[in-house]
Amino acid sequence: MSEKIIPVEDIHAFFDDGMTEDIRKMLIRKDKRMTPSGLYCPCCGGVQAYVDRNDVNQPCDCREQASRLAHYAYANIGELYMRLSIEDLRDTTAKDTVISYIDSIDDRIDRGQGLLLYSQGYGTGKTLAASLILRKALRRQHTGYFITFSNLMQMAKDGWKSDESAKKYREIVSTVDLLVMDDIGKEQLAVGGFSNDYAKMMFESILRDRVQRLKTTIYTSNLTAFQIQQTYSHAVGSLLAESTQQVDFPGGDYRQTETRTVGKFGKIY
């Protein structure tokens, strides 16, 4: 089975909730970046050709680029992380593990096998790695979502007042095949006015729910699995051990090199 992206014309029918309008606006911008067919192209800006990273002119598949933008935006992937590729990850054993995970993505998702992408410092490429995995899952027609742990807690809180937020929260936590939960750690606990104990209880409940439903989760953290167990609970530790493999990213402050390679236009990978 090859990778398949849904044609952009069908996206509005495919996604039938509140996110659709935002994506529609992104795709049909009233500016000069339109292709002759009236479609916004996030890669070439409408000229139907672009210069690749090796300074070679390439024809642009504007429809696919627009379709990718829509799918990735719907899954809440930031534009920077749409425009970086596997080449932007440093060559480490962590990268090899990520590549082999991506190569067997269908099987991993079927089995609910996730990853804990760990590094001591920031800017090591673990968020990029998580985005690469999620993008591949989306291209293989799995459902997925990217969110920081603190934003997920905020969404849970908004759900007390808004049915729409409550619905979105439940969909993200219980339904999506692959969830990226970015930046879990002790400093994220007391967000949105929650007590630490409440946030810990929420995290344990999300984890248990996803493990029991055989849903796959990719975590990024500055804590090891052992430190997470110490911070949260033994139950969290054993659920994590059951459902994830820890991948260690060495070094730090790599983000500046990452961002230097991308701009407003260029290929959406």
**Minimal distance, residue 264 CB to Zn ion, in Å:** 13
**Minimal distance, residue 30 CB to Zn ion, in Å:** 17
CB nearer Zn ion, residue 33 or residue 200: 33
Spatial distance between the Cα atoms of 16 and 246, rounded to a whole number of angstroms: 36
CB nearer Zn ion, residue 43 or residue 199: 43
H runs (alpha helix) in 51-158? 62-74, 79-83, 93-103, 105-111, 126-139, 149-158
Give burial (CB, 10 Å; 0-12/13-18/19+) of 195. exposed
**Minimal distance, residue 48 CB to Zn ion, in Å:** 6
CB nearer Zn ion, residue 52 or residue 96: 52
Decide: 82 and 134 in contact? Cβ < 8 Å: no
The closest of 225, 254, 253, 248 to 93, measured between CA atoms, is: 248
**Minimal distance, residue 66 CB to Zn ion, in Å:** 8
Spatial distance between the Cα atoms of 45 and 50, rounded to a whole number of angstroms: 9
CB nearer Zn ion, residue 8 or residue 178: 8
Spatial distance between the Cα atoms of 239 and 241, rounded to a whole number of angstroms: 5
**Minimal distance, residue 256 CB to Zn ion, in Å:** 28
CB nearer Zn ion, residue 12 or residue 63: 63
Using DSSP's 3-state secondary structure scheme, residue 53 falls into coil
Kindly state the helix (H) or strand (E) to which residue 242 belongs, with its residue range. Answer: helix 234-243
CB nearer Zn ion, residue 5 or residue 43: 43
- Over its C-alpha atoms, the chain yields an Rg (Å, rounded) of 19
**Minimal distance, residue 144 CB to Zn ion, in Å:** 24
Binding site for Zn ion (CB under 5 A): 41, 43-44, 60, 62
